[in-house]
Amino acid sequence: MAIALCDVDHFKAVNDRFGHETGDRVLKTIAGELRSVKNRGGYVVRLGGEEFAVLLPDHALERAGAEVDRVRERLGARNLIDSVTERPIGSITFSAGIAMVDGQQGLRRALRLADAALYAAKHAGRNRIYAAFGDGQMAPMHNDMQ
């Protein structure tokens, strides 16, 4: 099973500029996009704030990265408009860290690794997906990320 931790980039700026109600609607939009992985046997959980966990049973690391990357690209390509105020918000991106839960490492270790990979993605410039491996190595999932 693969686990991805996803964190919305610069979300505080959305809340500061547009208000918390708009921020809540943006989070619902992001959750809706992330839910598309459910069609491929995945689960999405909001951990708090602007962070989500995506669980992908029966997914290898690369396939899980591709699933999350499709959502990242789709969301980043959208020009969001607040459905209530009709004010343009712009595009929203997220960063993610992915790790495997397997016989070698349990869920807690995989969560720590995914969190470290998420931090690496943020540190590398955001709007990226990084993978964490059992030996602690981190690597970007795709070369075409910006």
Per-residue model confidence as pLDDT tens digits over 19-37: 999 999 999 999 999 998 8
Q: What is the pLDDT of residue 58?
A: 85
What is the residue-averaged pLDDT of the chain? 91
How many angstroms from the chain centroid is the CA of residue 64?
Answer: 11
- What mean pLDDT is predicted for residues 122-133? 97
* Beta bridge pairs of residue 2: 56, 100
Assign domain 2-140 to a CATH class. Answer: alpha beta
pLDDT digits (tens, 9 = 90+) for 57-68: 988 999 999 999
Is 101 strand, coil or helix? coil
Q: What is the pLDDT of residue 145?
A: 43
> Does the structure show a pLDDT above 80 at 40?
no
> Does the structure show a pLDDT above 50 at 146?
no
Q: Which DSSP letter does residue 36 get? A: G
Q: Which DSSP letter does residue 41 get? A: T
Which residues are CB-contacts of 54 (< 8 A; sequence separation ≥ 6)?
Answer: 3, 4, 5, 6, 34, 37, 42, 43, 44, 64, 67, 68, 96
pTM: 0.91
Contact between residue 56 and residue 64 where contact means Cβ atoms under 8 Å apart: yes
User: Using CA atoms in the order 24, 29, 33, 39, what is the torsion angle rounded to 10 degrees?
Assistant: 90
Known active-site residue 50: yes
What percent of the residues of the chain are helix, what percent strand, and what percent coil, each to the nearest 5? 45, 25, 30
Which amino acid, residue 65?
Answer: G
* Phi/psi of residue 129, nearest 5 degrees: -125, 125
Kindly name the residue from 50, 51, 67, 73 that is annotated as catalytic. Answer: 50
pLDDT digits (tens, 9 = 90+) for 68-122: 999 999 999 998 888 788 889 999 999 999 999 988 778 899 999 999 999 999 9
The candidate with the shortest Cα–Cα distance to 40, out of 1, 82, 93, is 1
